[in-house]
Amino acid sequence: MSMSWADLRFMLERTRGLFRRGLASLRTRGLSATWARVRRQFAQHPRLPPGALYRPAEAAFAPFTVPSSDAPRVSIVIPVYNQALHTLGCLRALAEHPPAAACEVIVVDDGSQDETRAWMQAIGGLRYHLRATNGGFIAACNDGAALAQGTYLVFLNNDTFPQPGWLDALLDTFGAWPEAGLVGAQLVYPDGRLQEAGGVVFDDGSAWNYGRFESPDDPCYTSVRDADYCSGAAIMLPTALFREIGGFDTRYAPAYYEDTDLAFAVRARGYRVLYQPASRVVHLEGITAGTDTGSGAKAYQVRNRGVFAQKWADALTRQAAAGTLPSPAVLARGRRQVLIVDSETPRPRHDSASLRMANLMRMLVGEGAHVVFLPADLRHAGTDTAALRQHGVETWHAPFVGSVASWLREHGPRFDVVMLSRHYVAAEFLPLVRRFAPQARIVFDTVDLHFLRETRGADVAGDETLRRSAQKTRERELALMRQADTTLVVSPAERDMLSALLPTAQVDVLSNLHELADDGAPFAQRHDIVFVGGFRHPPNVDAVLWFGRDIFPDIRTGLPGVRFHCIGAEPPAEVLALQEQPGIVVHGHVPDIAPYMEGARVAVAPLRFGAGVKGKVNLSMAHGQPVVATPCAVEGMHLVDGHDVLVAESADAFVGAVVRLYEDAPLWERLSVNGRENIRRHFSLDAAREVVRRVFLD
């Protein structure tokens, strides 16, 4: 992104205030915090790569059109005073990348003397309001809010370049977080450094732009989280709430601290103030008022801090002490802090263990915990990493984790609970956690008992080498259970087995976690048979091969034309080869599994070995899709043959059960209803809440 002469002039102007600001910081924050700010400003942090930030091309003015609507959902209010070129750039950004949400754009002119009036009146779709007299930023914002017709109100500075998708990300936050009252964007400098990831307010009323000068992609700043305030350069809140509060408080006129005051007023009414990193806005900062707090309009920032501190004296007693260096631990103070480590980032659309893990983290966040996730492979998992962050999970990855040991040395002291998932992950991490987080309760999450699954696989294969390997796995898993404070298993059957093997171990059942889906199509409108399961899991490969070779041909004889849909990531060659048989379709991974859950008549789980609770069975039942399964597939799931599932062990019995269920509408309806009830009682988030609270939050 090239720097214009206006940008260069702004940077030169900024240097005038650095000395005064440094002295002011020493007086209010102390030497340690001031030095930290200096180091952050001049340190070399990873910036956004060239071209990552959008900026409209500079060109002579020519009329254009901004987004508009007769029934806007969002009203964007842009207060302006001179600086017509910056206003033009902001509006061009809105025009070139219009939001998906219906919106209106309102420019409130606070008495500009430059080209602002002539240009604004020539822009199509724009609502232009010229104030009779210059009243300052607060007056202009309040006038714009009075004109707003949208359900939601956005205040946007004119010295900004909103990035594509910024508005919809803010709006979506209110749907994902019903308790949200105000949401602020991530602000970045034109050079790609972070300007603000929400603000921090200290007990003396002073404030801190969290993350200033660091990388916008640093995991400290990439998750939705509570903020003390968000800069008014780009914030959204319900229009009715803003009017209920009475708008920006005019005691801060002409400007400064009005956005901080607004955030405290929103929170005082029982709502949350959230920072949304998916909404990114380039902010030039200080174009109109400068950055020198010793002169000009910026001087009101110093005065208004005292006004704010007096108004919110009671609330400020709960803030961090002045001079505290903000960090993830400081921001999450007073909340249970939980670290979760798994082999890789959960992929909920790929496997049931991932769905369980993702839903567990969502539950913990919903219960008020601050959740941190560290994948053992340290990889950024694209949309899956982004999804966790949108759920409020602080999610780490390379290059921001140099080594696990150094990361735990820095962050370990903040955790109350550390959960290590899978025995091979726990074996690597447990000694480090004991060393660097000795205060933490260690939870070993087995996911399923690996040694049990391996032993059963060895029995099916008749392989003595596999049996010896399973014995070694058993020794490792049991050793980890002795070292952990709590062990989690997914079924009562596994808990009962461990109570005999390790009577002194603390073992709790935290099973698969599912949300009930819609019922889907009725019996008469459903067709075909479906299997769901990832093929990195050996029991799934064996199950599909057995079903495809030994069971499905006889089913198709009894049900001519029926098809078998095989869904799951990374099918091996022998599974793909099943498609040579009539009626078998191997889809591999599908991005949306709902059509198969809601449209297929019968699901099958022909597992001959395995352990734990089978997510494929849970998934179908959560959608009201009846299941035919082997005894192994329904182990520990509180299911009764003929009531909420059909159980068959041999190939012939499996054929008979599938054909019967496929043709018997009353039986299908009974299993559909009872299967959903089984999910609600045993595998829903509410069913797991008591265990989650006891293990992680007590």
**Residue 674 to residue 638: CA distance in whole angstroms:** 11
The per-residue pLDDT for range 343-369, each reduced to its tens digit, is 999 998 888 889 999 999 999 999 999
Region 529-554: mean pLDDT is: 94
The per-residue pLDDT for range 688-697, each reduced to its tens digit, is 999 999 999 9
* Structure confidence at residue 47 (pLDDT): 73
pLDDT category of residue 17 using cuts at 50, 70 and 90: very low
The answer to whether residues 427 and 563 belong to one domain is: no
* Structure confidence at residue 395 (pLDDT): 98
- For residue 278, being part of any structural domain is answered with yes
Q: Specify the range with the lowest mean pLDDT, choosing from 143-157, 184-198, 299-313.
A: 299-313
Answer with the one of 443, 478, 509 that is the final residue of a domain: 509
The answer to whether residues 499 and 636 belong to one domain is: no
pLDDT over 80 at 28, yes or no:
no
**Residue 12 to residue 222: CA distance in whole angstroms:** 30
The answer to whether residues 341 and 271 belong to one domain is: no
The answer to whether residues 428 and 502 belong to one domain is: yes
Bridging pattern class, strands 194-196 and 180-188: antiparallel
CB atoms within 10 A of CB 17: 19
Residue, of 538 and 182, whose pLDDT is higher: 182
Average pLDDT, rounded, for the chain:
91
DSSP 3-state of 422: coil
Q: What is the full DSSP assignment across 83-105?
A: -HHHHHHHHHHHHHS--SS-EEE
Taking Cα atoms as reference points, which of 411, 413, 332, 321 lies closest to residue 33?
A: 321
pLDDT over 60 at 5, yes or no:
no
The answer to whether residues 113 and 182 belong to one domain is: yes
- For residue 690, being part of any structural domain is answered with no
pTM, entire model: 0.85
The answer to whether residues 384 and 530 belong to one domain is: no
pLDDT category of residue 19 using cuts at 50, 70 and 90: low
- For residue 58, being part of any structural domain is answered with no
The answer to whether residues 492 and 588 belong to one domain is: no
- For residue 698, being part of any structural domain is answered with no
The answer to whether residues 554 and 592 belong to one domain is: yes
Residue 119, domain extent: 5-51+64-286+294-330
Answer with the one of 509, 532, 563 that is the final residue of a domain: 509
30 phi and psi angles, rounded to 5 deg: 90, 170
- For residue 56, being part of any structural domain is answered with no
* Structure confidence at residue 13 (pLDDT): 45
Assign residue 610 the CATH number of its domain: 3.40.50.2000
* Structure confidence at residue 15 (pLDDT): 57
- For residue 689, being part of any structural domain is answered with no
- For residue 518, being part of any structural domain is answered with no
pLDDT category of residue 50 using cuts at 50, 70 and 90: confident
The per-residue pLDDT for range 553-573, each reduced to its tens digit, is 999 999 999 999 999 999 999
| CB-based burial label for 295 (10 Å; 0-12, 13-18, 19+) | exposed
Element (H, E) at 498: helix 492-501
* Structure confidence at residue 9 (pLDDT): 46
Assign residue 81 the CATH number of its domain: 3.90.550.10
Q: What is the full DSSP assignment across 327-388?
A: -HHHHTTTS-EEEEEESS---TTT-HHHHHHHHHHHHHHHTT-EEEEEETT----THHHHHH
The answer to whether residues 504 and 555 belong to one domain is: no
Question: Which residues have a Cβ under 8 Å from the Cβ of 60 and sit 6 or more positions away?
Answer: none
* Structure confidence at residue 139 (pLDDT): 96
Answer with the one of 307, 330, 353 that is the final residue of a domain: 330
The answer to whether residues 312 and 209 belong to one domain is: yes
The answer to whether residues 139 and 274 belong to one domain is: yes
Region 303-328: mean pLDDT is: 94
Buried b (16+ CB within 10 A) or exposed e, 364-395: bbebebbbbbbbbebebbeebbebbbbbbbbb
How far lies 179's CA from each of 131, 175, 183, 239, 360, in Å?
35, 9, 11, 15, 20
- The number of domains in the chain is 3
- For residue 599, being part of any structural domain is answered with yes
The answer to whether residues 47 and 173 belong to one domain is: yes
DSSP 3-state of 259: helix
